[in-house]
Amino acid sequence: MIKNKTCFFFFLLCLSVLLAGCRTCEHRLPDESLHVLPIETLVVFGFLPTPFSAEEGNTVRSSLTGSVFIAGPVPSEIPEQLTARLYDSLSRRLSVELISPETSRQAFLTVRDSSYRSEDKEIHRKTGETLLVDALLAGHVFRWQERTGTDYSVSRPASVAFELALLRVADGSLVWKGRFDKTQASLAENVLDLKTFLAGKGRWMNVEDLAGIGLSELVEQLPVGKKE
Protein backbone atom coordinates (compact mmCIF):
# COMPACT_ATOMS: atom_id res chain seq x y z
CA MET A 1 0.00 0.00 0.00
CA ILE A 2 2.79 2.40 0.97
CA LYS A 3 4.70 1.46 -2.15
CA ASN A 4 1.65 2.24 -4.30
CA LYS A 5 1.20 5.66 -2.68
CA THR A 6 4.89 6.44 -3.18
CA CYS A 7 4.67 5.54 -6.86
CA PHE A 8 1.54 7.66 -7.28
CA PHE A 9 3.08 10.79 -5.75
CA PHE A 10 6.28 10.23 -7.74
CA PHE A 11 4.11 10.09 -10.86
CA LEU A 12 2.44 13.40 -9.90
CA LEU A 13 5.83 15.03 -9.32
CA CYS A 14 7.09 13.95 -12.73
CA LEU A 15 3.90 15.11 -14.36
CA SER A 16 4.19 18.53 -12.68
CA VAL A 17 7.70 18.98 -14.08
CA LEU A 18 6.51 17.93 -17.53
CA LEU A 19 3.57 20.34 -17.51
CA ALA A 20 5.76 23.19 -16.26
CA GLY A 21 8.09 22.58 -19.18
CA CYS A 22 5.18 22.62 -21.61
CA ARG A 23 3.91 25.93 -20.25
CA THR A 24 7.27 27.61 -20.91
CA CYS A 25 6.93 26.63 -24.57
CA GLU A 26 3.40 27.95 -24.92
CA HIS A 27 2.80 30.47 -27.71
CA ARG A 28 0.23 33.17 -27.02
CA LEU A 29 -1.79 35.16 -29.53
CA PRO A 30 -1.10 38.94 -29.49
CA ASP A 31 -4.38 39.73 -27.72
CA GLU A 32 -3.53 37.17 -25.03
CA SER A 33 -0.03 38.47 -24.25
CA LEU A 34 0.81 39.40 -20.69
CA HIS A 35 2.24 42.89 -21.32
CA VAL A 36 0.73 45.65 -19.17
CA LEU A 37 -1.53 48.05 -21.04
CA PRO A 38 -1.47 51.81 -20.29
CA ILE A 39 -4.73 51.89 -18.35
CA GLU A 40 -5.30 54.20 -15.38
CA THR A 41 -9.09 54.00 -14.98
CA LEU A 42 -11.21 50.90 -15.49
CA VAL A 43 -14.95 50.41 -15.19
CA VAL A 44 -15.90 46.91 -14.04
CA PHE A 45 -19.22 45.94 -15.60
CA GLY A 46 -18.56 42.36 -14.65
CA PHE A 47 -20.82 39.56 -15.80
CA LEU A 48 -24.09 40.45 -17.45
CA PRO A 49 -27.01 38.06 -18.05
CA THR A 50 -26.77 36.41 -21.44
CA PRO A 51 -29.16 37.99 -23.95
CA PHE A 52 -30.70 34.65 -24.88
CA SER A 53 -32.36 31.64 -23.33
CA ALA A 54 -29.58 29.07 -23.34
CA GLU A 55 -30.60 25.46 -23.38
CA GLU A 56 -28.14 22.78 -22.29
CA GLY A 57 -25.91 21.68 -25.14
CA ASN A 58 -26.60 24.63 -27.45
CA THR A 59 -23.65 26.31 -29.14
CA VAL A 60 -23.61 30.09 -28.69
CA ARG A 61 -21.32 32.87 -29.87
CA SER A 62 -20.30 35.77 -27.61
CA SER A 63 -21.43 39.20 -28.76
CA LEU A 64 -18.36 40.73 -27.08
CA THR A 65 -15.53 38.53 -28.31
CA GLY A 66 -16.94 36.23 -30.98
CA SER A 67 -15.83 33.18 -28.98
CA VAL A 68 -18.01 30.06 -29.10
CA PHE A 69 -19.27 28.21 -26.02
CA ILE A 70 -21.41 25.19 -25.20
CA ALA A 71 -24.21 26.83 -23.23
CA GLY A 72 -26.36 25.70 -20.36
CA PRO A 73 -28.91 27.18 -17.95
CA VAL A 74 -27.54 29.90 -15.67
CA PRO A 75 -29.51 30.88 -12.53
CA SER A 76 -30.53 34.55 -12.67
CA GLU A 77 -28.58 35.50 -9.53
CA ILE A 78 -25.25 34.05 -10.71
CA PRO A 79 -23.95 36.94 -12.90
CA GLU A 80 -24.35 39.42 -10.04
CA GLN A 81 -22.77 37.07 -7.50
CA LEU A 82 -19.83 36.29 -9.79
CA THR A 83 -19.41 40.01 -10.50
CA ALA A 84 -19.13 40.76 -6.77
CA ARG A 85 -16.38 38.14 -6.45
CA LEU A 86 -14.61 39.54 -9.50
CA TYR A 87 -14.68 43.13 -8.24
CA ASP A 88 -13.39 42.08 -4.83
CA SER A 89 -10.48 40.24 -6.46
CA LEU A 90 -9.68 43.15 -8.78
CA SER A 91 -9.76 45.62 -5.87
CA ARG A 92 -7.14 43.58 -4.06
CA ARG A 93 -4.93 42.88 -7.08
CA LEU A 94 -5.02 45.86 -9.45
CA SER A 95 -3.24 49.18 -9.02
CA VAL A 96 -5.58 51.16 -11.32
CA GLU A 97 -8.62 53.22 -10.34
CA LEU A 98 -11.74 51.07 -10.51
CA ILE A 99 -15.35 52.13 -11.13
CA SER A 100 -17.64 49.65 -9.39
CA PRO A 101 -20.44 47.68 -11.08
CA GLU A 102 -23.00 49.49 -8.92
CA THR A 103 -21.78 52.89 -10.09
CA SER A 104 -21.70 51.88 -13.74
CA ARG A 105 -25.03 50.04 -13.82
CA GLN A 106 -27.24 53.12 -14.08
CA ALA A 107 -25.05 54.68 -16.74
CA PHE A 108 -25.16 51.44 -18.71
CA LEU A 109 -28.97 51.22 -18.55
CA THR A 110 -29.32 54.85 -19.63
CA VAL A 111 -27.03 54.37 -22.63
CA ARG A 112 -28.68 51.08 -23.58
CA ASP A 113 -32.17 52.60 -23.51
CA SER A 114 -31.03 55.45 -25.77
CA SER A 115 -29.01 53.23 -28.13
CA TYR A 116 -31.74 51.22 -29.82
CA ARG A 117 -30.36 48.35 -31.92
CA SER A 118 -26.74 49.17 -31.07
CA GLU A 119 -24.39 46.23 -30.62
CA ASP A 120 -23.24 45.21 -27.13
CA LYS A 121 -19.68 46.47 -27.63
CA GLU A 122 -20.87 49.90 -28.77
CA ILE A 123 -23.22 50.24 -25.77
CA HIS A 124 -20.36 49.36 -23.44
CA ARG A 125 -18.01 51.79 -25.20
CA LYS A 126 -20.50 54.66 -24.93
CA THR A 127 -21.01 53.89 -21.24
CA GLY A 128 -17.26 53.98 -20.65
CA GLU A 129 -17.12 57.27 -22.51
CA THR A 130 -19.84 58.69 -20.25
CA LEU A 131 -17.89 57.59 -17.17
CA LEU A 132 -14.60 59.07 -18.51
CA VAL A 133 -12.55 55.89 -18.18
CA ASP A 134 -9.76 54.38 -20.28
CA ALA A 135 -11.13 50.86 -20.52
CA LEU A 136 -13.95 48.60 -19.42
CA LEU A 137 -14.21 44.97 -18.36
CA ALA A 138 -17.34 42.99 -19.14
CA GLY A 139 -18.37 39.41 -19.79
CA HIS A 140 -21.07 36.77 -19.78
CA VAL A 141 -21.71 33.50 -17.98
CA PHE A 142 -22.67 30.83 -20.48
CA ARG A 143 -22.93 27.68 -18.35
CA TRP A 144 -23.36 27.00 -14.63
CA GLN A 145 -23.84 23.34 -13.76
CA GLU A 146 -23.68 22.17 -10.15
CA ARG A 147 -22.22 18.75 -9.40
CA THR A 148 -24.52 15.87 -8.54
CA GLY A 149 -22.87 13.88 -5.78
CA THR A 150 -20.37 14.38 -2.97
CA ASP A 151 -16.73 15.38 -2.52
CA TYR A 152 -15.60 11.87 -3.42
CA SER A 153 -18.28 10.49 -5.72
CA VAL A 154 -20.34 12.19 -8.43
CA SER A 155 -22.78 11.14 -11.11
CA ARG A 156 -22.39 14.54 -12.79
CA PRO A 157 -19.41 16.86 -12.19
CA ALA A 158 -19.47 20.64 -11.85
CA SER A 159 -19.20 22.54 -15.13
CA VAL A 160 -18.86 26.26 -15.81
CA ALA A 161 -18.16 28.57 -18.74
CA PHE A 162 -17.65 32.33 -18.69
CA GLU A 163 -15.55 35.00 -20.34
CA LEU A 164 -14.19 38.50 -19.78
CA ALA A 165 -13.47 41.13 -22.41
CA LEU A 166 -11.30 44.21 -21.97
CA LEU A 167 -12.39 47.00 -24.32
CA ARG A 168 -10.60 50.28 -25.01
CA VAL A 169 -13.08 53.14 -24.64
CA ALA A 170 -11.38 55.46 -27.15
CA ASP A 171 -12.18 53.25 -30.15
CA GLY A 172 -14.15 50.33 -28.73
CA SER A 173 -11.50 47.81 -29.76
CA LEU A 174 -11.09 44.49 -27.99
CA VAL A 175 -7.60 44.58 -26.44
CA TRP A 176 -7.78 41.38 -24.38
CA LYS A 177 -10.12 38.45 -23.86
CA GLY A 178 -10.06 35.63 -21.37
CA ARG A 179 -12.25 32.56 -21.02
CA PHE A 180 -12.75 29.78 -18.52
CA ASP A 181 -14.62 26.77 -19.86
CA LYS A 182 -14.24 23.65 -17.78
CA THR A 183 -16.02 20.51 -16.67
CA GLN A 184 -14.13 18.87 -13.83
CA ALA A 185 -12.73 15.46 -14.68
CA SER A 186 -10.91 12.89 -12.60
CA LEU A 187 -7.13 12.75 -12.94
CA ALA A 188 -7.47 9.36 -14.64
CA GLU A 189 -9.83 10.88 -17.24
CA ASN A 190 -7.69 13.94 -17.91
CA VAL A 191 -4.12 13.44 -16.76
CA LEU A 192 -3.05 16.82 -18.20
CA ASP A 193 -5.38 18.74 -15.86
CA LEU A 194 -3.22 18.23 -12.79
CA LYS A 195 -3.63 21.89 -11.82
CA THR A 196 -7.38 21.54 -11.25
CA PHE A 197 -6.90 18.21 -9.50
CA LEU A 198 -4.47 19.77 -7.02
CA ALA A 199 -6.62 22.89 -6.55
CA GLY A 200 -9.54 20.67 -5.60
CA LYS A 201 -7.29 18.63 -3.27
CA GLY A 202 -8.30 15.49 -5.09
CA ARG A 203 -12.00 16.07 -4.47
CA TRP A 204 -14.95 16.76 -6.72
CA MET A 205 -15.53 20.49 -6.47
CA ASN A 206 -18.85 22.29 -6.35
CA VAL A 207 -19.48 24.80 -9.13
CA GLU A 208 -18.65 27.83 -6.94
CA ASP A 209 -15.18 26.47 -6.17
CA LEU A 210 -14.56 25.60 -9.82
CA ALA A 211 -15.63 29.09 -10.89
CA GLY A 212 -13.34 30.58 -8.24
CA ILE A 213 -10.36 28.90 -9.88
CA GLY A 214 -11.38 30.40 -13.20
CA LEU A 215 -11.78 33.90 -11.78
CA SER A 216 -8.34 33.77 -10.18
CA GLU A 217 -6.77 32.67 -13.46
CA LEU A 218 -8.42 35.42 -15.51
CA VAL A 219 -7.57 38.17 -13.01
CA GLU A 220 -3.96 37.01 -13.03
CA GLN A 221 -3.87 37.04 -16.86
CA LEU A 222 -5.49 40.48 -17.17
CA PRO A 223 -2.89 42.82 -18.74
CA VAL A 224 -3.53 45.68 -16.29
CA GLY A 225 -1.13 47.00 -13.63
CA LYS A 226 -1.00 44.83 -10.50
CA LYS A 227 -0.19 45.89 -6.95
CA GLU A 228 3.26 45.02 -5.66
* Tens-digit pLDDT profile for residues 101-149: 998 888 888 888 777 666 778 888 899 999 999 999 999 999 999 999 9
CA distance 9 to 3: 10
Domains in the chain: ranges and CATH: 36-221 (3.40.50.10610)
By the 10 Å C-beta count (0-12 exposed, 13-18 middle, 19+ buried), 27 is classed as exposed
Which 3 state secondary structure label does DSSP give 14? helix
Q: What CA–CA distance (Å, rounded) separates 53 from 60?
A: 10
Amino acid at 148: T
Query: Looking at the whole model, is its pTM more than 0.85?
Result: no
What pLDDT score does 27 carry?
31
The rounded distance, in Å, linking the Cα atoms of 65 and 121 is 9
Rg (CA), the chain: 19
Q: Which amino acid is at 24?
A: T
Q: What is the pLDDT of residues 2-39, one digit of tens each?
A: 444 444 444 444 444 333 333 332 233 344 445 789 99
Tell me what pLDDT residue 154 has: 86
Measured between alpha carbons, how far is 156 from 147 in angstroms, rounded to an integer?
5
Distance CA 124, CA 45 (A): 9
Q: Which helix (H) or strand (E) holds 41?
A: strand 41-48
Higher-pLDDT residue of 185 and 57 is: 185
- In 3D space, the residue among 138, 161, 159, 164 whose CA is nearest the CA of residue 149 turns out to be 159
Spatial neighbors of 68 by CB under 8 A, at least 6 apart, are 59, 60, 61, 62
List the single range of 86-95, 126-135, 156-165, 180-189 with lowest mean pLDDT. 180-189
Mean of pLDDT over the chain? 81
